[in-house]
Amino acid sequence: MMNGRAAAAGGTGAPRPSRQISIVLRPVEPAASPAEQPVSEMVKGVEPGSPFAEIQRELDAMVGMEKVKALIYEIYALLHVSGLRAAAGLSVGPQVYHMIFRGNPGTGKTTIARIVAKLFQKMGVLQKGHLIEVERADLVGEYIGHTAQKTRDLVRKALGGVLFVDEAYSLARGGEKDFGKEAIDTLVKAMEDYKNQFVLILAGYPEEIDMFLLSNPGLPSRFPIRIDFPDYTVDQLVKIAELMVKERDYEMQPQAVAKLRQHLTELKRDSMFAFSNARYVRNAIEKAIRHQAVRLLNLYGSGQPGRQELMTIRPEDFRWDSDEA
């Protein structure tokens, strides 16, 4: 029986149990689209022993890239459910996992490729789950036939894992007579010959990758999975810097953070392309760490700086040479 208060809240005066039940069974709010939903929330159901648990930890450690994370989770879900469907005797459709990564330099493409390789290994798609990262010079040879041989050798090395071709566009750059075309043809042939034995990821700047796919009408359909790597905001770059500093057992003084933020803001404002480079941030941190070491040595000589001093990055440790922007 309903109590008086609930009945009064119902507004009719009479107890209406059916209404109460309808409240309990109210349909769940539609889920936010993956883009707005942090991956840690999407994957709440992932148990500690699940193959995704470790992947999730690695993804969670990365700043931003919610859409990328959501896509990786989708791939995991697809692999998992495909396994269940196969076990139930249902058709699982074509299993093609070759991918295109579109993003500016330093937006995390290589890091994600490594995570994808690990995911495929854990899910039994790939035997080894290693990553072979190559660029044009690794694939293209000096004489006719050399390119095909070099490319085939690298594909063989990548079997059981991921072959990651960075700056893939440069393979199409030279036109018909360029050996880059031979590399592409060899890769496409290898995709047929070694079906499901390796995953090919082509990566590059967004515009260049688009041009590349246009250069060969057979290409787009061979890469059903496309992942876009968005540019980082200055806030995200600063957060990445803070993570990197912490990982290395250092701390930035607030003024040092402010100086870095200012510098990144200027770079983003002045650069011709979309500056979004986590790698630049890493180099800046590593350089500051070297400057800090020199500063401490000069200051203390053979003396002993305190623990806090050893950890502290001061604003003067960040110095920007004009040749590095």
Ligand X SMILES: Nc1ncnc2c1ncn2[C@@H]1O[C@H](COP(=O)(O)OP(=O)(O)OP(=O)(O)O)[C@@H](O)[C@H]1O
Bridge partners, 100 (sequence order)? 202, 226
Sites of contact with ligand X (CB under 6 A)? 62-65, 103, 105-111, 166, 240, 243, 278-279, 282
Q: Considering CB distances under 5 to 8 angstroms, the limit depending on partner class, which of Mg ion, ligand X, none binds residue 108? A: ligand X
- Residue 319 neighbours by CB under 8 Å, 6+ apart: 287, 291
* Residue 274 binding: pick among Mg ion, ligand X, none (C-beta 5-8 Å cut-off by kind): none
| Four-residue CA torsion sign, 62, 68, 70, 75 | negative
CB of 67 to ligand X, least distance (A): 12
Contact, 279 vs 265, CB < 8 A? Answer: no
Nearer to ligand X, 42 or 148 (CB): 42
* Rg for the chain, CA atoms, rounded: 26
Residues that bind Mg ion (CB under 5 A): 110
Which of 2/63 has CB closer to ligand X?
63
> Closest distance between ligand X and the C-beta of residue 124, in Å?
25
Q: Which amino acid is at 182?
A: E
Least separation in angstroms between CB 61 and Mg ion? 17
CB of 111 to ligand X, least distance (A): 3
CB of 268 to ligand X, least distance (A): 16
- Cβ neighbourhood burial of 178 (10 Å; 0-12, 13-18, 19+): middle
From Mg ion, ligand X, none, which one binds at residue 243 (CB under 5 to 8 Å depending on kind)?
Answer: ligand X
Of the candidates 150, 141, 212, 224, the one whose C-alpha atom is nearest the C-alpha of residue 187 is 150
Query: Is the Cβ of residue 148 or residue 163 nearer to ligand X in the bound state?
Result: 163
